[in-house]
Amino acid sequence: MATEDKNRATAAAILPLVGGAANVSSIAHCMTRLRLGLHDRSLVQDDALKAVPAVMGVVDDDTYQIVLGPGTVARVTPEFEKLVEEGRASAPDPATVPVTAEELAAQGAGMKAARKSKNATPFKLFLRRIANIFVPLIPALIGCGIIAGLNGLLVNLGWLPSVTPALAAMASGFMALIAVFVGYNTAKEFGGTPILGGAVAAIIVFPGVANIEAFGQKLSPGQGGVLGALGAAVLAVYVEKWCRRWVPEALDVLVTPTLTVLISGLVTIFGLMYVAGEVSTAIGTFADWLLSNGGAGAGLVLGGFFLPLVMLGLHQALIPIHTTLIEQQGYTVLLPILAMAGAGQVGAAIAVYFRLPRNESIRKTIKSALPAGFLGVGEPLIYGVSLPLGRPFVTACVGGAFGGAFVGFFNQLGDAVGSTAIGPSGWALFPLLDGNHGLGATIAIYAGGLVVGYLAGFVATYFFGFSKDLLTEFNVSQEPAAASPVAAATPAAATAGPDALPKEPAGV
């Protein structure tokens, strides 16, 4: 089957299982998931979706998320969008379909129950908004980060001196203007006019701010960075909304954008840039202090607790911290340590493979998911193996803790290991590595951390990951036709809500 036909077939298999085109309100995708806004969640057939060959798992969160994996999701989503458009064009207008009051009441009650089941706290909703601002920037961060790494290698080797300045421009151009993109996305996410958010954030990187004095100090272009841009754009949204309420419609097109940029700009220049600059500096100082003094202990905690943090959705708070560190230092020292959580998952999965020699279904799942796991895509192993089994998920976190401790120990010795971008993990992070003691030492330390994570995850899972009852239950031959053998043996895992399954792993 041709690739396009395969992707369309996957989309065609998914659509009726989420209630058809009429039930889809929005379509988007991230690096691994098809994210759908649905009118009625009760129409979704979870078990049937998990049986679709290309589907690795589902997560019922603020959007309904179907895990397809990197590459696949980017190809299936356009086909899914086409099918939805075709379905809507051929379907009758829902407004013309008679609906009884009882049906409307039942639908409303179902939607209310679904909202309650999500248990979306204001803090988690805020973190999701922050993630929505920064996640769209990840492809540019990755591309520019790899170019920066290539340029650094060529400079160190003395090769292609006529080309390296061009590569430096390509690698640095986006980072020089990242505040503008953050401002644009922030205004869009918080309900304002995106270009006004970008315009206010652009003040931060304008070279002319060097001639302005605030709090007794000269400002510097870029002071406050992405945090300042975030705050400036949020302020711009509130100013704009205030103007929309009070400015007469006849003057709105002239007065509202002017006042938005003027008021927000003045506050940004004479307040936010200085405050955000101090906060950004404090973040960088604290990260350096933590790893310089905490070392192995800090790495143990960060590597071990990262996946539980992901499960709670709290990992999204790290995205602006990573971005701030990259903006300040050229790399984030936190991501290589957090990436060890994925190494622990790989080691644990290999141990499960050897501990369950009779379970062909689980072994097949592990064999198919391991290549992606080595490349830092942990979802197939998490959903299909460790999390439903329970104890192996905990021992996988132990492996991540030991890997994180290894990298943290070398940071304490003065060998900083960082990543010039966020998103990739595992072996995929090698092209993005950077540090303060040469690329060779940086790669060796990171590779050593992965090996330690693999070994610790394997040993902890092999010897402590299974009780006698768990071995008795799972070390048996199962039907290979089962879509998710572990989930089939543990129905609770298959129907778990958003707080029982991991959210999008950032750097796992």
Radius of gyration of the chain (CA): 25
Which residues on adjacent β-strands are paired with residue 410? none
Distance between CA atoms of residues 434 and 12, nearest Å: 43
What are 2's two structure tokens? 């041709």
* Residues 456 and 399: beta-carbon distance below 8 Å: yes
* Phi, psi dihedrals of residue 29, rounded to the nearest 5°: -145, 155
Catalytic residue among 30, 144, 243, 397: 30
Structure tokens at 285: 């100082």
Whether 30 is catalytic is yes
Q: At what angle do helices 3-14 and 72-90 cross, to 10 degrees?
A: 60
Torsion of CA 479, 483, 484, 490, to 10 degrees: -70
Hey, what are 259's tokens?
A: 């006042």
Burial of 221 (0-12, 13-18, 19+ CB in 10 A): middle
Residues whose CB is less than 8 angstroms from the CB of residue 139 and which lie 6 or more positions away in sequence, other chains included: 423
List Cα–Cα distances, 341 to 251, 404, 425, in angstroms. 55, 8, 10
For residues 447 and 464, give the distance between their C-alpha atoms in angstroms, rounded to a whole number: 25
Question: Whole-angstrom Cα distance, residue 503 to residue 61?
Answer: 9
Residue 49, sorted as left (phi over 0), alpha (psi -120 to 50) or beta, turns out to be: alpha
- DSSP 3-state helix, strand, coil percentages of the chain (rounded to 5)? 70, 5, 25
Cα distance between residue 349 and residue 341, in whole Å: 13
Rounded Cα gap, residues 332 and 316, in angstroms: 15
CB 49 within 8 A of CB 58: yes
Helix spans in 135-211 (H): 138-157, 164-176, 178-189, 194-205
CA distance 456 to 479: 31
- List, in sequence order, every residue forming a beta bridge with 28; answer none if it has no partner: 35
> Catalytic amino acids?
30
